[in-house]
Amino acid sequence: MLAYTYIGRGDFRLQEKPLPQLQDARDAIVRMTLGSICTSDLHIKHGSVPRAVPGITVGHEMVGVVESVGSGVTNVQHGDRVVVNVETFCGECFFCRHGFVNNCTDSHGGWALGCRIDGGQAEYVRVPYADCGLTRIPDNVSDEQALFVGDILATGYWAARISEITCDDTLLIIGAGPTGVCALLCAMLHAPRRIIVCEKSPERMRFVREYYPEVLVTTPDECIDFVHAHSEHGGADVVMDVAGADDTFRLAWQCARPNAIVTIVALYDKPQCLPLPDMYGKNLTFKTGGVDGCDCEAILRLIAEGKIDTTPLITHRFPLSRIDEAYSIFENRLDGVIKIAITND
């Protein structure tokens, strides 16, 4: 089968690989019908993910059809259309039982697919702990509607949940890339008083204004003054940094009011400085980490009910055989790209 493979830093190649096989009673084999490219894939390519294993098939954002299951799998069966979760988790350890599935203590727990074990930018993928890692797609939800559920939409849902958003809040979201828009969509479910999006890309600013006209939009250079002018207590009640750029961490806490919640959704390429003397007295609460992606069923239900729609994010579509071209467009932000759907040939 064809599989897009991490060779080494800066080197991804489309190669022929053997079809995956069941290795454990709780495994499933999924035939991929639709995948996508995520910024985290670029982090691997750029060498920013030390745990990524050379030789693995990349890709962790995908939907497909179950081809076969191990004897221990009970929640899905052959022929089911499924979302594949970005997280691998056993469902039984201390962290899984408390909903902290990103920190599953299994040897393949956390972000494994497309990082430490073969992922889904291929024709087939093996999914460990399939009862936890696969979620059936409702009949009235298309593959494109479900494509982002297992990764960036799960991330947005998790970020909105841990940010404790209330109806009285002013929420600032820094970054209007794909994950930022997913965070925006999920934050809107909590009905905050106002949402401000900070973005430097004119194309992404236009996207937010076109699809979410009730949202206020500003730029990084104007953000602090803009937030102060549109908040009641000296800053935003909740801030999400979904950009992860060199200056966005500082911008996030500077825009927060005293006693605010600052949620770090982004994966930074470089270490960030926590200048405690500068922020002393603001009494901020920081929340950060990898997504606990255990809400896929709830998210799919919201999509089926028409309450979340991420299909406008899909701006380009490519077959797997042209994935090099797709990566070039995505990595260099060409042609107004937001997200790319990858189909099997």
Res. 269: pLDDT tops 80: no
pLDDT at 293: 87
Q: Percentage of the chain with pLDDT > 90? A: 89
* pLDDT (average), residues 314-332: 97
| For residues 195-221, average pLDDT | 97
- DSSP secondary structure string, 52-118? PPTTPBP---EEEEEEEE-TT--S--TT-EEEEPSEE--S-SHHHHTT-GGG--STT-EE-BTTTB-
Q: What is the pLDDT of residue 48?
A: 84
Closest by CA to 271, choosing from 239, 249, 243, is 249
pLDDT band at residue 265 using 50, 70 and 90 as cut-offs:
very high
- The b-or-e profile of 85-122 (16+ CB within 10 A means b, else e) is bbbbbbeebebbeeebbbbbebebbbbbbbbbbbbbbb
**194-210 mean pLDDT:** 96
At residue 106, does pLDDT exceed 90?
yes
| Residue 78 confidence (pLDDT) | 98
Tell me what the mean pLDDT of segment 123-144 comes to. 98
Map out the domains of the chain as residue ranges: 2-151+292-343, 158-288
Is residue 174 within 8 Å of residue 240, measured between CB atoms? yes
As a whole number, mean pLDDT of residues 210-228 equals: 98
**Burial class of 322 by CB neighbour count within 10 A (0 to 12, 13 to 18, 19+):** middle
**237-275 as b/e: b if 16+ CB within 10 A:** bbbbbbbbbeebbbbbbbbbbeebbbbbbbebeeebeee
Q: Is 14 left (phi over 0), alpha (psi -120 to 50) or beta?
A: beta
Q: Is the pLDDT of residue 224 over 80?
A: yes
Q: Which of 329, 335, 313, 37 is nearest to 176 (CA)?
A: 313
Q: What is the pLDDT of residue 108?
A: 86
Reported as a pLDDT band with limits 50, 70 and 90, residue 81 is: very high
Query: What are the Cα distances from residue 136, in Å, to 142, 221, 300?
Result: 12, 44, 9
pLDDT tens for 29-64 read 999 999 999 988 998 999 889 999 999 999 999 999
Instruction: Evaluate if residue 345 carries a pLDDT over 90.
Output: no
pTM of the model: 0.94
Calpha distance 93→57 (Å, rounded): 27
β-bridge partners, 81? 65
Domain 158-288 class?
A: alpha beta
CATH architecture of the domain covering 2-151+292-343: Alpha-Beta Complex (3.90)
Output the pLDDT for position 39.
87
Q: Which residues pair with 28 in a beta bridge?
A: 69, 127
Confidence of residue 13 (pLDDT cuts 50, 70, 90): very high
- Alpha-carbon distance of 238 to 281, in angstroms, equals 17
Whole-angstrom distance, CA of residue 186 vs CA of residue 182: 6
- Of 29, 52, 28, the closest CA to residue 42 belongs to 52
**Mean pLDDT for the chain overall:** 96
CB 230 within 8 A of CB 223: no
Residue 216 · residue 196 · CB < 8 Å:
yes
With cut-offs at 50, 70 and 90, classify the pLDDT of residue 289. confident
